[in-house]
Structure 1
Amino acid sequence: MSETTYTPPLTRRDWLLSDRPASRTQARLGRAYVIWRRFSENRLALVGLLILMALLFVAAFADVLAPYSPIQGDLRNGLLPPSAANWFGTDEQGRDILSRLIYGSRLTLLVVGLVAIIAAPVGLLVGTVSGYAGGWVDAILMRITDIFLAFPKLVLALALVAALGPGIENAILAIAVTSWPPYARIARAETMTFRNSDYIAAVKLMGASPFRIVLRHIMPLCMSSLIVRVTLDMAGIILTAAGLGFLGLGAQPPLPEWGAMIASGRRFILDQWWVAAAPGAAILIVSLGFNLLGDGLRDALDPKEAGQ
């Protein structure tokens, strides 16, 4: 009798890490698992992820978590120090600072999300078209990009908001207009690396149009670098939005925007320090969280680390 060898069943981990995936779904899930495993090894990146998840939780359940109204206050309770009733104290109009911070997280996420949705696709499109087309198309698109890069981001945002008028919507638009050029530069560099590869040459031989090549084959290859750059830029977007709010060009009173809260508290910075310190600490923690998350994603998505 011939002996039969026993083959143990594949575990879920072995299935994900298989070097011969049976389907695209298995390959994608395996790639995602490898990225998550590398990401989870970075403890600081996990801290950044926890900060972001906490921000999302606070913004989603602000109505439940906030103990008081973020807009209505009592002048008789103005500038009270931190206490059991008001954990972070009150501002000059008697409004609870903690409640305003909680509701202000929604504005922060709104600014960050809309800027990323507007700026990242524009930069990706400009960069991939420029890098793949080359010639005069590349020259024109990159000179336009250079013009935007020649101005400091905050100065250009200030000029745009001053022209459009103060308000959270105009501030978001101004920040988005000033944020896309770096993404275009990254996408162009990535595209110029891929456009002469055998993979793209094979797609051309199959009769794919330039539009399809850019949209279906080059853009996905640029997504990893773009995601990392967008995540790292979130802190700068938050600081730019806070700067506009501090100067009175962003969210207008009585909206609980963190930059505007610091501006209203700068008059009391020596005696009632908590009025400006609380929103400043919130900006610091959230910006740090995005930076830590971006560093972790950069290490996890780095193709040079794939074989290690």
Structure 2
Amino acid sequence: MTALTMTNLSPATPPRFAALRGGAAYALTVIRHLAGNPSAAFGLAVIALLVVSAAFAPLIATHNPYAQDLTATLQAPSWAHYFGTDELGRDVFSRLVYGSRISLTIIALVAVIVGPIGLAVGTIAGYFGGWFDTVLMRITDIFLSFPGLILSLAFVAALGAGLENAIVAIALTSWPPIARLARAETLTLRGADYVSAARLQGASSARIIIKSIVPMCMPSVLVRLTLSMATVILTAAGLGFLGLGAQPPLPEWGAMIAIGRRYMLESWWLVAFPGGAILFVSLAFNLIGDGLRDALDPKQRKGRH
């Protein structure tokens, strides 16, 4: 045992590198499980397509998404324009491809903002309890008492229309469910033996929360955050549809539907293709969220079967 321990702790394999390798192996296991789940694999494929479209938009797009051609307005899908043209003769396919950049930006920024805020509020409220819990949860309840889209509309109305303000508004309305989940997880963890042992060893509350509680909350929060991305996409599209999100001429999918609905009876492609993109991306995040829940919670997976 001593020799084995000495070998594992040799300078060639520092503990932090071993931990990184262990985390990478765990991530690969989760990805392998998602790939083996048909519905989750479909979701991964759609999100991968979204990322590729956003990263290589100049190479994939067949036309300039902002170039107007008034001699080719409202043309049906063809080899010249895969998804047809809009009322200004702009290529719908190219605008959808560049619109994936806007959607991916919204998803990434909202996730970066919402995850830490919800996790911090939930773990602090659950760990300390008392008036911390009361104040933080009452604030959370206030946000939860309003529909997300309505509250986002109120924030955008106060901040002003625009993509940046829409992202802030969506983030401000998306953290409460994650905070609720993190609080529930923390309430079950704060009395655990390993938390009590850390407390007896003199660890500060901040260290216990960061080192002992947050890692245990991460799987559930990650699943909830993934599932929330579908709502984020729909809310962003709703704000764009109402003219409060990304402003013209940006090719945001909701704004494209808002303009296309004027011509949808004769030019169905103006609404069908952006609507289909929103549908498939939202569905993909829901499917990935379900797959992550199964991968990160084997007991629940067994219970389903």
TM beyond 0.5: yes
1:265 aligns with 2:229: no
- CA–CA distance in structure 1, aligned partners of residues 93 and 235 of structure 2: 22
- CA–CA distance in structure 1, aligned partners of residues 164 and 22 of structure 2: 41
Match of 2:15 in 1: none
- CA–CA distance in structure 2, aligned partners of residues 231 and 177 of structure 1: 17
Provide the identity percentage. Answer: 59
1:253 aligns with 2:248: yes
Match of 1:130 in 2: 125
**Residue by residue, what CA displacement relative to the aligned partner does 1:115-139 show, whole Å, maximum 9, x if unpaired?**
1111111000000000000001100
| Counterpart mapping for 1:34-73 below 5 A | 34-73=29-68
Match of 1:162 in 2: 157
Query: How far off its partner does 1:165 sit?
Result: 0.7
- CA–CA distance in structure 1, aligned partners of residues 91 and 238 of structure 2: 22
Range with greater deviation from structure 2 (167-176 or 281-290): 281-290
Tell me which amino acid in the other structure corresponds to 1:170: N
Match of 1:218 in 2: 213
Gaps (5+ residues) in structure 2? 1-17
Tell me which amino acid in the other structure corresponds to 2:86: D
Query: How far off its partner does 1:250 sit?
Result: 0.2
Q: Whose Rg is larger?
A: 1
- CA–CA distance in structure 1, aligned partners of residues 25 and 262 of structure 2: 55
Match of 1:274 in 2: 269
Query: How far off its partner does 1:265 sit?
Result: 0.3
1:195 aligns with 2:208: no
- CA–CA distance in structure 1, aligned partners of residues 181 and 173 of structure 2: 15
1:234 aligns with 2:243: no
- CA–CA distance in structure 2, aligned partners of residues 29 and 256 of structure 1: 37
Change (3 A) 1:88 1:29: closer
Scaled by the length of structure 2, the TM-score of the pair is 0.90
Tell me which amino acid in the other structure corresponds to 1:55: L
Tell me which amino acid in the other structure corresponds to 2:284: G
Query: How far off its partner does 1:212 sit?
Result: 0.7
Work out whether residues 120 and 179 of structure 2, in 8 Å CA contact, stay in contact via their aligned partners in 1: yes
- CA–CA distance in structure 1, aligned partners of residues 24 and 98 of structure 2: 36
- CA–CA distance in structure 2, aligned partners of residues 43 and 69 of structure 1: 36
Range with greater deviation from structure 2 (254-263 or 111-120): 111-120
1:175 aligns with 2:170: yes
SS in 2 for 1:252: coil
- CA–CA distance in structure 2, aligned partners of residues 282 and 31 of structure 1: 31
| RMSD of aligned Cα (Å) | 1.7
Change (3 A) 1:273 1:25: closer
| Counterpart mapping for 1:1-16 below 5 A | none
Change (3 A) 1:250 1:30: closer
Query: How far off its partner does 1:25 sit?
Result: 4.9
Tell me which amino acid in the other structure corresponds to 1:246: F
Query: How far off its partner does 1:150 sit?
Result: 0.5
SS in 2 for 1:51: helix
Query: How far off its partner does 1:303 sit?
Result: 4.8
Query: How far off its partner does 1:27 sit?
Result: 4.4
Query: How far off its partner does 1:305 sit?
Result: 5.4
- CA–CA distance in structure 1, aligned partners of residues 296 and 57 of structure 2: 33
- CA–CA distance in structure 2, aligned partners of residues 307 and 250 of structure 1: 42
Range with greater deviation from structure 2 (292-301 or 100-109): 292-301
Scaled by the length of structure 1, the TM-score of the pair is 0.90
1:84 aligns with 2:79: yes
Query: How far off its partner does 1:221 sit?
Result: 0.8
Query: How far off its partner does 1:300 sit?
Result: 0.3
- CA–CA distance in structure 1, aligned partners of residues 175 and 44 of structure 2: 24
- CA–CA distance in structure 1, aligned partners of residues 49 and 27 of structure 2: 23
Structure 1 residue runs of 4 or more that deviate by more than 4 Å after TM superposition:
305-308
**Residue by residue, what CA displacement relative to the aligned partner does 1:50-107 show, whole Å, maximum 9, x if unpaired?**
1111110010000111011111111111101111100100000000000000000000
Gaps (5+ residues) in structure 1? 1-22
Work out whether residues 66 and 249 of structure 2, in 8 Å CA contact, stay in contact via their aligned partners in 1: yes
